[in-house]
Structure 1
């Protein structure tokens, strides 16, 4: 059984399942944050698929403090707002009213692209509307139990006069620097401490103020518990960083049981998405943004990237040639398998099913993505005409819809992600300089290859690949050296795409002429 279907099957005892996820919009949202989004969306879909009443909520934690100014923003403009609640920081652009809504708006566009449609709520609204007032009162009155939970679970000591609340300072507007040390049932006493953090100074102001109606916030582990209860959350997964033994989720679970006397929602951890082995960060600008990757990959492929591995397995993502081409090849293989099995949804096809924007898989005749990347780099070639010519069957309107998406993805990849080694530049007008330095063995190979290619009638990639290998075997030349000679002759590099496919993109007379020109330039070596 697929992991999400198992969660759905095991869910019981609730009138309605409430699936929840959330994000702090501290900057441009990286693609890693999409993993939690898609995982929760698939759990929601699996519950619907199982016929169980369910809602999917997504929270914007916009009362969290701005703790870093991302490197892509104006440091001078935004540094004065360090320590402010994100919803009180000015917007970096004119598309939103404030900082939090600006970056969340960009992320929500990706939600729409991926067919993810949760009910979105903002923490500012929960606090300012008074919906969290009773929880604030409960946790302040039971601060000793909250302190106990921190100490028992994470070994974190809190002073006896520490209260689980941070006020928005009435004088300077910061929330990160305030410390509450007393509560009289209607007001808290706080100090905006100059040394509260090592990244922003408090103003030193102190006084009594009501903690209700948006005047401050609960620490996020405590806030997490309040959200669960006020929203009725029954299922919420968490990333590996929050799910460590003694970590954030364990602390929140303990507070939920100890203070509210309730069981926390179902939880299971999921792993990070890494970029070349590095965890991504919104505020530090590490990793590709969700918006950027959404502009590269078709929506189903981006969902599939998140779903083809178990949630507890790390995804090491890098938009290089090998990763991108393998992703599309794996997806197309499952589409073919679904077609072969006449639409039966076996366990290994469920990742494909949940990758769809809608509730059905629509088969199509695929066209190799790596071939598209190569074809797009050949001058004066009509890509659609070439695709139609190379497809073994007539292409339907839906086939072309998919192929056009792939062409756009290949163009985007070539423009923004391909490095110089991955780009293919075919020398059409002149012989590459490096082709003049072949070994005698390589020149002999090209001489024999030209003779053999003259006899090839069907000028397609597979037949040409066979001819290339059989020629090296005939001359007892190692394939590595033989193929290097071909790449040097046509692209001026020692490596390239599948050589048979490369030659098939070119006219037979051009290939034979180029081989003879290279042989002539190296004639003294024969």
Structure 2
């Protein structure tokens, strides 16, 4: 049973009378949302699909924590943005001048990427929720129970609680009405009037009515369980950093039950994703990451979804943009082949189903094939289409171009090793190293190229037959040796596109110019 189906079954068993199952995810727009963050929303997304498959009604929500404080200027943003540290993300200007705020810039970037995956949650912008006063009654409740919250928080710490610290603890942060930063200290709270007084390091002092406040928010470990209650959340995943024995989930679980009187939702911890060659955790603020948008320039959405679906959430994996791209595409293309469907394990079959968009993408060319041909035709998609047609593979423009664009981007930006050029002159130095059998093979290949009566398929049959040997294993070795020799003499490398495509792409006359040493 696939992990998403197992979680869905557990939810149905735990909440048999729920009319609607709320599955939640959330991210703070601290910078470009990376593919590690994506694991949170895609984990919830797969569970929603498993629930819907069982006929259950689902509400899939995604919270943008854009009322959180701006903590750090990320790589790629003007260092002058340090002046905004301590302000809510939604009030920090857009660093690139193209959106209404810092928060909106990164939110819209990620939302556009999600749309390409067909992932359409209900977006909740926490700045709007807080400023609408929707949470104020629960904030007041938390403030009235602040000493209990303090004791819960400190029960998860190694150091003990302190009476003096407890007396001045408040579970909220206040953004100053003057400087808009959270550099404030709460000085008193009047139980009768429900008003709170604060002082900011900027010199401003103010009082506010908690039920009317629009510039105050709960601290994270109290905010999270408050929202579970407000949205009636049944399931939410969380990263490994939130999932330790003393992590945010376990702390928030106790606060949810003891302070808000609400059982914590079911939870799945997910592991971090690393970039190939790096053991560092991806971070929006460090700039050391791939975003979903980055990957979509190379991978089709269904390929990316499959990578996430085939691993248990608590299993780490890495993503590379080197030769792994070919391996990942080839694996997915093989699984999608109806002939191979009978051989799939139940988990792989489920992962494949979860990765499929609602509208089937239809027939598409193989990525590895296009990446081998495109440099040969100088990335001309029309020539690519014609060449494939000549070797018996016809694709409409809309079938061909999405994969071609991704292959071109991958080669030019990530894997220039795929760039190939046809040699200008015969490689006499390499030819002199060949033995008599290899030279005879080449001579026969040239004879077959000269025969204008041969069709492409017939010519290939005869080229394969050049290396005939009673020992099948030896014959395959010889064929591989011959093809490698052709690639070396034509392209200056040991491999290349399939020989029929190489012949069509380079042209018979040019092939003969490079291979015929017996003129």
Coarse TM-score class (shorter-chain normalised): 0.7 to 0.9
Task: Tell me how far apart the structure 2 counterparts of residues 80 and 357 of structure 1 sit (CA, whole Å).
Answer: 44
TM-score by length of 2: 0.84
- Is 2:169 aligned against 1:162? yes
Structure 1 SS opposite 2:354: helix
Structure 2 SS opposite 1:41: helix
Asked if the contact 2:446/2:512 (under 8 Å) is kept, the reply is yes
Asked if the contact 1:164/1:180 (under 8 Å) is kept, the reply is no
- Is 2:436 aligned against 1:450? no
Is 214-223 or 80-89 further displaced after alignment? 214-223
Is 24-33 or 446-455 further displaced after alignment? 446-455
Q: Which residue of 1 aligns with 2:333?
A: 332
Structure 2 SS opposite 1:150: helix
Is 435-444 or 243-252 further displaced after alignment? 435-444
Q: Which string of whole-angstrom CA distances, capped at 9 and with x for unpartnered residues, describes residues 349-380 of structure 1?
A: 2212111221x65653x532111011111136
Asked if the contact 1:85/1:174 (under 8 Å) is kept, the reply is yes
Task: Tell me how far apart the structure 2 counterparts of residues 459 and 85 of structure 1 sit (CA, whole Å).
Answer: 66
- Is 2:380 aligned against 1:373? no
Aligned mate of 1:130, from 117, 130, 133: 133
Structure 1 SS opposite 2:266: coil
Task: Tell me how far apart the structure 2 counterparts of residues 265 and 379 of structure 1 sit (CA, whole Å).
Answer: 55
Q: Which residue of 1 aligns with 2:285?
A: 283
Residues 109/140 of structure 1: CA separation in 2 closer, same or farther (3 Å cut): same
Residues 66/476 of structure 1: CA separation in 2 closer, same or farther (3 Å cut): closer
Task: Tell me how far apart the structure 1 counterparts of residues 511 and 140 of structure 2 sit (CA, whole Å).
Answer: 80
Task: Tell me how far apart the structure 2 counterparts of residues 119 and 332 of structure 1 sit (CA, whole Å).
Answer: 32
Q: Which residue of 2 aligns with 1:80?
A: 83
Residues 2/424 of structure 1: CA separation in 2 closer, same or farther (3 Å cut): same
Task: Tell me how far apart the structure 2 counterparts of residues 108 and 25 of structure 1 sit (CA, whole Å).
Answer: 11
Q: Which residue of 2 aligns with 1:38?
A: 42
Structure 1 SS opposite 2:376: coil
Q: Which residue of 2 aligns with 1:424?
A: 419
Task: Tell me how far apart the structure 1 counterparts of residues 145 and 224 of structure 2 sit (CA, whole Å).
Answer: 16
Aligned mate of 1:171, from 158, 161, 178: 178
Asked if the contact 1:442/1:481 (under 8 Å) is kept, the reply is no
Q: Which residue of 2 aligns with 1:407?
A: 404
TM-score by length of 1: 0.83
Residues 50/61 of structure 1: CA separation in 2 closer, same or farther (3 Å cut): same
Is 294-303 or 45-54 further displaced after alignment? 294-303
Task: Tell me how far apart the structure 2 counterparts of residues 489 and 149 of structure 1 sit (CA, whole Å).
Answer: 73
- Is 2:221 aligned against 1:214? no
Q: Which string of whole-angstrom CA distances, capped at 9 and with x for unpartnered residues, describes residues 58-97 of structure 1?
A: 1110111111222222222x22111111011112345432
Q: Which residue of 1 aligns with 2:196?
A: 188
Residues 469/60 of structure 1: CA separation in 2 closer, same or farther (3 Å cut): farther
Shift in Å, 1:129: 1.2
Asked if the contact 2:423/2:491 (under 8 Å) is kept, the reply is no
Shift in Å, 1:105: 1.0
Asked if the contact 2:456/2:500 (under 8 Å) is kept, the reply is no
Task: Tell me how far apart the structure 1 counterparts of residues 50 and 259 of structure 2 sit (CA, whole Å).
Answer: 32
Structure 2 SS opposite 1:267: strand
Structure 2 SS opposite 1:166: strand
Q: 5 Å matches for 1:425-504?
A: 425-431=420-426, 438=430, 441-442=433-434, 447-454=439-446, 487-493=487-493, 495-497=494-496, 500=499, 503-504=502-503
Q: How many residues align?
A: 493
Q: Which residue of 2 aligns with 1:383?
A: 384
Aligned mate of 1:114, from 112, 117, 121: 117
Shift in Å, 1:217: 1.3
Task: Tell me how far apart the structure 2 counterparts of residues 475 and 17 of structure 1 sit (CA, whole Å).
Answer: 60
Q: Which residue of 2 aligns with 1:198?
A: none
Task: Tell me how far apart the structure 2 counterparts of residues 59 and 203 of structure 1 sit (CA, whole Å).
Answer: 31
Aligned mate of 2:63, from 49, 59, 62: 59
Asked if the contact 1:424/1:496 (under 8 Å) is kept, the reply is no
Q: Which residue of 2 aligns with 1:244?
A: 244
Q: 5 Å matches for 1:333-372?
A: 333-337=334-338, 341=342, 346-358=346-358, 361=360, 364=363, 366-372=364-370
Shift in Å, 1:238: 0.9
Structure 2 SS opposite 1:284: coil
Shift in Å, 1:515: 3.1
Structure 2 SS opposite 1:296: coil
Task: Tell me how far apart the structure 2 counterparts of residues 425 and 306 of structure 1 sit (CA, whole Å).
Answer: 33
Shift in Å, 1:51: 0.8
Q: Which residue of 1 aligns with 2:321?
A: 319
Residues 163/480 of structure 1: CA separation in 2 closer, same or farther (3 Å cut): farther
Structure 1 SS opposite 2:241: coil
Task: Tell me how far apart the structure 2 counterparts of residues 290 and 260 of structure 1 sit (CA, whole Å).
Answer: 36
Shift in Å, 1:389: 2.8
Q: Which string of whole-angstrom CA distances, capped at 9 and with x for unpartnered residues, describes residues 157-203 of structure 1?
A: 6632222111102332212x3344643332334454xxxxxxxxx53
Residues 303/476 of structure 1: CA separation in 2 closer, same or farther (3 Å cut): closer
Is 140-149 or 43-52 further displaced after alignment? 140-149
Residues 497/314 of structure 1: CA separation in 2 closer, same or farther (3 Å cut): farther
| Structure 1, gaps ≥5 residues long | 193-201, 521-526
Asked if the contact 2:422/2:506 (under 8 Å) is kept, the reply is no
Task: Tell me how far apart the structure 1 counterparts of residues 174 and 467 of structure 2 sit (CA, whole Å).
Answer: 73
Shift in Å, 1:506: 3.5
